[in-house]
């Protein structure tokens, strides 16, 4: 199968984000035996005139249509396409009449701009997949189209560390902060941890004067800690986590996540550590810091589980199953229900 993958494949960021989900999904498609051609919509737009993306967006849309007309793909896979306009979908179908179009997204749907992007595209594509389940998924389906859940993938070529095997790890805990807009609650939790366990060797990147980590340095930070915090912008959205959770577990760190995320429905207690409040988190951090054998055992089980059941090839296969087959052709470790939207979507509005 020929697949054009349209997403953020940034050359302009000097390699800072080349370990992200877009690259993993293309790798998964390739490992399944398909041809994947990456189209970097943002770089095409940014390169038009002095990095002015708005000015370059029309060019990126035209270029994508020409690119697909030339290649004639079986599938156009859109991922976080903030540059590709809804009207371009019709032009793509005209250029390649037999093509299927799917859209994936791993950002939080509690971000209004992201919600609106999915809502606008959902009735126009054949399949929408997102790393949020529950109410948000059904709200997106309400605007039309077919919508399903997908997990953040791990990739053995990216998450190649096995921290649980190492004896030279200097830090107890690491947190790599993401969007600073949401760092208030996360900073408060990290400070509570620091106050609750003063002796803990805690590397909180982006806090307390510590710079963030990107590219290879990101994985240096992961490899320098025995345990990791998976803290997303919101920790009460069902089955939503940033890809930090996959990165932590995939590199063999003992991973902690808030119980309200619902990942206890996908992982056993001896694979992933959950907590309900700062007090429980601090108590569990204290326990595993002092019980290294238990820490290694849970981290090893979590690492084995994500690489077996949540790898890049399985997630890529689920995208193909959902888009072409209308459902799973094999067993998956996550919910595979597909929500069918209504034919005539209502006026767009962002839910509370």
SS3 244: helix
Cα dihedral sign, 301-247-309-332: positive
- SS3 letters for 22-89? HHHHHHHHHHCCCEEEEEEHHHHHHCCCCCCHHHHHHHHHHHHHHHHHHHCCCEEEEECCCCCCHHHH
Beta strands in the chain (DSSP E): 2-7, 35-40, 75-79, 100-105, 127-130, 146-149, 171-176, 202-205, 225-229, 254-258, 273-275, 339-340
Contact 57, 81 (CB under 8 A): no
- What's residue 343's pLDDT? 46
What's the pLDDT band for 16 if we cut at 50, 70, 90? low
What's the pLDDT band for 338 if we cut at 50, 70, 90? very high
How is domain 2-153+311-340 classified at the CATH fold level? Rossmann fold (3.40.50)
CATH tag for 163-309 (out of 3.20.20.70, 3.40.50.2000, 3.40.50.300, 3.90.660.10): 3.40.50.2000
**Is 0.85 topped by the overall pTM?**
yes
- Reference 303, options 209, 175, 164; nearest CA is 164
- What's residue 351's pLDDT? 41
Residue 215 has pLDDT above 90, yes or no: no
Contact 126, 330 (CB under 8 A): no
Could you read off the pLDDT of 125-144 as tens digits, one per residue?
999 999 999 999 999 999 99
The domains of the chain are located at: 2-153+311-340, 163-309
Strand partners, 78: 6, 103
Q: What are phi and psi of 349, to 5 degrees?
A: -150, 150
Could you read off the pLDDT of 22-70 as tens digits, one per residue?
999 999 999 999 999 999 998 889 888 777 888 989 999 999 999 999 9
Q: What's the CA dihedral at 160, 166, 170, 176 to 10 degrees?
A: 30
Crossing angle of helices 53-71 and 86-95, rounded to 10°: 20
Can 2-153+311-340 and 163-309 be said to share one CATH topology?
yes
What's the pLDDT band for 183 if we cut at 50, 70, 90? confident
- What's residue 2's pLDDT? 98
């Amino acid at each position: 199968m020929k697949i054009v993958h349209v997403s953020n494949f940034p050359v302009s960021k000097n390699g800072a984000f080349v370990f992200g989900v877009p690259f993993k999904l293309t790798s998964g498609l390739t490992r399944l035996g398909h041809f994947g051609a990456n189209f970097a919509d943002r770089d095409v737009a940014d390169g038009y005139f002095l990095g002015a993306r708005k000015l370059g967006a029309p060019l990126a849309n035209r270029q994508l249509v020409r690119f697909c007309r030339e290649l004639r793909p079986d599938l156009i896979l859109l991922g976080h396409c903030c540059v590709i306009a809804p009207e371009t979908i019709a032009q793509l179908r005209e250029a390649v009449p037999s093509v299927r179009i799917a859209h994936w997204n791993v950002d939080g749907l509690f971000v209004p701009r992201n919600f609106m992007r999915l809502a606008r595209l959902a009735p126009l594509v054949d399949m929408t997949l997102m790393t949020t389940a529950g109410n948000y998924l059904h709200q997106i389906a309400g605007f039309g189209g077919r919508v399903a859940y997908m997990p953040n993938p791990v990739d053995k070529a990216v998450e190649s560390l096995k921290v649980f095997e190492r004896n030279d790890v200097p830090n107890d805990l690491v947190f790599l902060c993401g969007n600073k807009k949401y760092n208030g609650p996360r900073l408060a939790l990290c400070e509570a941890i620091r106050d609750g366990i003063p002796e803990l060797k805690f590397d909180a990147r982006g806090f307390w004067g510590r710079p963030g980590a990107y590219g290879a340095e990101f994985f240096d930070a992961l490899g320098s800690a025995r345990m990791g915090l998976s803290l997303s912008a919101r920790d009460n959205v069902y089955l939503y986590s940033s890809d930090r959770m996959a990165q932590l577990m995939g590199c063999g760190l003992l991973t902690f996540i808030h119980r309200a995320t619902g990942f206890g429905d996908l992982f056993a207690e001896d694979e992933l550590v959950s907590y309900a409040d700062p007090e429980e988190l601090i108590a569990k951090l204290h326990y595993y810091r002092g019980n290294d054998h238990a820490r290694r055992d849970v981290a090893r089980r979590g690492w084995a589980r994500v690489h077996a059941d949540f790898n890049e090839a399985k997630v890529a296969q689920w995208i193909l199953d959902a888009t072409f087959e209308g459902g799973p052709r094999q067993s998956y470790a996550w919910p595979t229900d597909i929500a069918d939207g209504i034919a005539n979507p209502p006026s767009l509005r962002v839910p509370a």
